[in-house]
Amino acid sequence: MQLLVLLIVSVFTLGACQVFDLAYTWTDLPSDSILFQDDFKDPSSGWKNLTYSDLGARYYEDGSYRIVINATNGLITATPGLNFADVHVYVDVTKKTGTDDNIYGVICRWKDDHNYYFMIISSDGYYGIGKAVNGQQTLIGSKNMPPSEIIHQGFSSNLLRADCVGDTLTLYVNGEHLISVRDTEFSLGDVGLLAGTLDDPGLEISFSNFHVRKP
């Protein structure tokens, strides 16, 4: 499979409006302290329920946060309205419906709809780290997303961990290190989630047990 982030040409991001600056308020906390956590049981916790008529929707449901995409080459992001520098981000992810030819993952240092880092995998076992700069999405450290047997495919769940520490970005899946890259484009910003389709619409991704820890 050739899975390029650059193939996602219809990008609609629906970020949170209010931003809480926590980037410098937790410097005295010990390493591995929880900076933010959400079990998605409270629909007022910051992620919001939003619908875009032709693209899809994002919403709370049964202790999870869902992203549904009904269009081809579509992407939806979601952020809770926070602001961090260095973080470890964890989330459990499950594909509920749709083709395995997709992407989903974690965002860090999100500045706005067009500028952020992303750590992603696909339901057919590919992975990558990239960034959006002024709306242009590129992978960092590789031209294509390589495969890994560590990634659970199809409808099986995956535990994602995304580290953004200094100029180093790292992706772990199911407790195993997959890739580390270096980049200096962004130094702080929001955390978040994303999911996207390629040639086939009808994707639903479920996120649960989201938490952010201090490195």
CATH number of the domain within which 16 lies: 2.60.120.560
Q: Is 127 exposed, middle or buried (0-12, 13-18, 19+ CB in 10 A)?
A: buried
- CB contact at 8 A, 168 and 42: no
pLDDT confidence band for 155 (50 / 70 / 90): very high
Q: Model confidence over 88-142: pLDDT tens digits? A: 999 999 999 999 999 999 999 999 999 999 999 999 999 999 999 999 999 999 9
pLDDT recorded at residue 8: 42
Q: Model confidence over 180-200: pLDDT tens digits? A: 999 999 999 999 999 999 999
pLDDT recorded at residue 26: 62
Q: Model confidence over 33-81: pLDDT tens digits? A: 999 999 999 999 999 999 998 999 999 999 999 999 999 999 999 999 9
pLDDT recorded at residue 145: 97
Buried b (16+ CB within 10 A) or exposed e, 177-198: ebbebebeebebbbbbbbbbbb
Torsion on CA atoms 95, 97, 103, 104, rounded to nearest 10: -40
Q: What is the C-alpha to C-alpha distance for residues 77 and 86, in angstroms, rounded to an integer?
A: 20
Q: pLDDT averaged over the chain?
A: 90
Q: What is the C-alpha to C-alpha distance for residues 71 and 140, in angstroms, rounded to an integer?
A: 26
pLDDT recorded at residue 122: 98
Q: What is the pTM of this model?
A: 0.90
Q: Model confidence over 196-207: pLDDT tens digits? A: 999 999 999 999
Average pLDDT over residues 143-154: 97
Please give the residue range of the domain that contains residue 122: 5-213
pLDDT recorded at residue 195: 98
Task: Give the chain's radius of gyration (CA, Å).
Answer: 16
pLDDT recorded at residue 28: 75
Please name which of 137, 198, 141, 143 lies closest in space to residue 171, comparing C-alpha atoms.
141
pLDDT recorded at residue 53: 87
Domains identified in the chain, total number: 1
pLDDT confidence band for 171 (50 / 70 / 90): very high
